[in-house]
Structure 1
């Protein structure tokens, strides 16, 4: 009996040593530099940070606490207003600065200009409807009745904001950005 116990103990010890050797020799932490991956793409949040003409809207997004959403993976369409459009909105609503807008309304403004699907203007019909994150309609009309200074047809959203032709269809890693001339309000 004692002999069987010693044999069993020896076998277990040998198995343990073999397993330990295989585990310690199978890992290699020294990877070549080519094996490392660093994400270098631009997300919607980066777009707002990298383009000064959207600094006012970027501040609205920050006040809403939605910058993380715009930095996350997905397939979205964002209609951010340029600074002049935000300034017009502030005047219309009687705000002296973005800091005067309640944070909850900032959240509403961000959701009003965000569609959870990628839309390129060249794929849209003359009248196209989507739902924004508020589950409200975003109606885009491109019928040739409205043109910009260069004579190019404008796509108008909810009869309020026009997509800026020179800046439209800007692909980012998590969707597409169509800058507009006015704030889209629900």
Structure 2
């Protein structure tokens, strides 16, 4: 069984790993730049060090080790992001998905509004879901607005709101299933 709380945590992990991956990429660019410069500056720097009676500090071995470590971390993070995103999609498309909505909606301005239980919010979940679907948050599917704080259905009848909500979630799950393949 999968639920929104777990998916929120998983989406947060994907976002954090992506942010860390960007930082690693920047560090790798700096290391690669330094490695590229060493063959260009080494003759001058080593000759100058010898001339003034000091030891030339050849950073090439250290930089190559750092580069290898960064590349390994990058690969590990990329794999983790890919696997976590696949797990997110798999759990979102599960027929066992539990969405923690308060069963008693409010009626306002000709709309039915559902709040999440305990006023819970799911910003990471909806950020990642929107990204995967290629849409902007909040999601609007078949007259149903799905956001990190509430679900709003543009009908006045509670039964019709439930039908539209089920239909919109089914549409999202079908789209994610296609993306999974």
TM-score, normalized by length of structure 2?
0.23
TM-score, normalized by length of structure 1?
0.22
Give the structure with higher Rg (CA).
1
